[in-house]
Amino acid sequence: MLTMTSKKEADDSQGTFRVHQVLTQLGYGDAIGHEVLGIQEILRSSGFESDIFVESADYRLKPLTRNCFELPTACDPESVIIHHFSIGSKASRIAFALPSRMILVYHNITPPHYFSGLIEGPEIKSVAWQCYTGRRELSAYRSRCHLALGDSDFNRQELVELGFPRTDVLPPVLPNFPHLSVQTESALTSSFDDDFTNILFVGRIIPHKRIEDLIRIFGAYHHMHNSKSRLIIVGSHVGFQNYRATLHDLAARLHLPEVHFVGQVTDAELVSFYEIADVYLSASEHEGFCVPLVEAFHHQIPVLAYAATAVPSTMDGGGLLYDTKNPIVVASLLNAVVSDLSLHEKVLRSQDEALTRLEAKDFVGTLLNFVKQVRQAPPLPKTSIREGFWQQFERYERIEKLKYDYPLTDRVRPTGLTSSRRLESIRPENTTFNKLMSWIRTR
């Protein structure tokens, strides 16, 4: 149970004051979903009216949400919108156009180059394009939000580099990990609860997580150090079936029958996997925070992780970081953590200390203080978005997408027109639109 400060201490809130959240999609079992639901509980317990507005939601969570098209009637200029920005979307654009005060929470966007070369069909090309346009669209919020929060200092620094004038950090980890305070479900894990060394990874089966590197590291460990070991990979592969097939093929070529893909699991099943794990291993190359690392801390599992992006700051001196992708080197480190009792205990102590520092940051008080700041801040100038603005934005983006997908098409020009003249002939005349395009070209 979350411990709440009193309504008066929190923000002198009026019982009907509205602080709503908006995001593209509410997923089941993911870190953003847990954070969004936790924030709603905090806000409602502190006396605010608070709903969650989405474009789509997992069927298990849909009853907890409202359609993003209802947001305009649920807000007024004094309301606060907490906008979880991850990729460009209709929900984002609705929030942008409203006169309400805004706190933007940036969860980072995967660089689109991680999706290049995948043979996954049009839906994956769409994901790559959403990541590409989302990163470009983010800059439009510099003058729209009262406060921009990163869920790590790594993310906050990206906001600073984009020119956001008011930034801070709100870690996406709720005190006491309420989503893990559930009765375990051991039916799925019972076959793994034996004398084998269980190496665990939790996360989506997606290219920037570098699952292939995990398999190579495990292969070196399994064949060189400990044949009674297995790699357990917990996470959804939806949309990336072909990528997962290449991973199965890699495991087969390396003679690794003990690589197990178990798919998406419930919170109860996730807790069971943490309970049978002997070590947590990550090779991810792009993380905005990486909640499973601190979940493993919470479950007293030694963590080895590749030192990339936000991972070192998330671990905050806990666990062990490595900076090479040489499987033999990392496998030796993995073996030392498993077999050397003194090193094992030292790693766990470092993780306990890091977790104590994280939990001392007072998520509840920090969140309510940010809401109070934004409520008391002077209103921002009204955003000058004319009718049809986003349609024009999408039209220009379609042109950019054509160039992105088929680079040679940009060389094909109507007779007598330069590239710039051709672009001018298809771009609508709109001052605000042209200003937006000017900053897009500088990105």
Same domain, 228 and 103: no
Contact criterion met (CB below 8 Å) for 205 and 261: yes
Alpha-carbon distance of 229 to 203, in angstroms, equals 20
Same domain, 163 and 268: no
Alpha-carbon distance of 114 to 244, in angstroms, equals 15
Q: What is the CATH number of the domain that holds 84?
A: 3.40.50.2000
Same domain, 96 and 237: no
- Residues with Cβ within 8 Å of 88's Cβ and at least 6 positions away in sequence, in order, are 130, 133, 134, 136, 137
Residue 383 lies in a domain: no
What pLDDT digit, counting tens, does each position of 56-108 carry?
A: 999 999 999 999 999 999 999 999 999 999 776 788 888 998 999 999 999 99
In degrees rounded to 5, what are phi and psi of residue 240? -125, 40
Contact criterion met (CB below 8 Å) for 374 and 147: yes
Same domain, 53 and 192: no
For the residues of 269-319, what is the DSSP string, one character each? HHHHHHHH-SEEEE--S--SS-HHHHHHHHTT--EEEE--TTHHHHHTT-S
The beta-strand segments (E) located in 27-85 are 52-57, 66-67, 80-85
Under the banding of pLDDT at 50, 70 and 90, the label for residue 291 is very high
Domain count, the chain: 3
Same domain, 170 and 235: no
Under the banding of pLDDT at 50, 70 and 90, the label for residue 278 is very high
Same domain, 143 and 196: no
**pLDDT for residue 6 is more than 50:** no
Predicted TM-score of the model (pTM): 0.81
Residue 200 lies in a domain: yes
Residue 409 lies in a domain: yes
- Structure-block tokens of residue 155: 């993310």
Same domain, 101 and 189: no
What pLDDT digit, counting tens, does each position of 307-325 carry?
A: 999 999 999 999 999 999 9
- Closest alpha carbon to 367 in 27, 86, 103: 103
Residue 384 lies in a domain: no
Same domain, 283 and 338: yes
CA distances from 207 to 101, 223, 285, 345 (A): 36, 25, 9, 32
Of residues 138 and 277, which shows the higher confidence score? 277
Same domain, 206 and 341: yes
Under the banding of pLDDT at 50, 70 and 90, the label for residue 396 is low
Same domain, 159 and 199: no
* Residue 77, domain extent: 14-175+362-376
3-class secondary structure, 354:
helix
Residue 296 lies in a domain: yes
What pLDDT digit, counting tens, does each position of 140-156 carry?
A: 899 999 999 999 999 99
What pLDDT digit, counting tens, does each position of 424-442 carry?
A: 333 444 444 454 445 444 4
Same domain, 275 and 350: yes
- Closest alpha carbon to 61 in 38, 33, 82, 32: 33
Torsion sign across C-alpha atoms 146, 152, 157, 159: negative
Residue 32 lies in a domain: yes
Same domain, 40 and 140: yes
Q: Which residue shows structure tokens 């690589």?
A: 259
Alpha-carbon distance of 289 to 114, in angstroms, equals 18
- Structure-block tokens of residue 1: 């149970």
Residue 389 lies in a domain: no
Q: Which residue shows structure tokens 């042209």?
A: 434
Residue 148 lies in a domain: yes
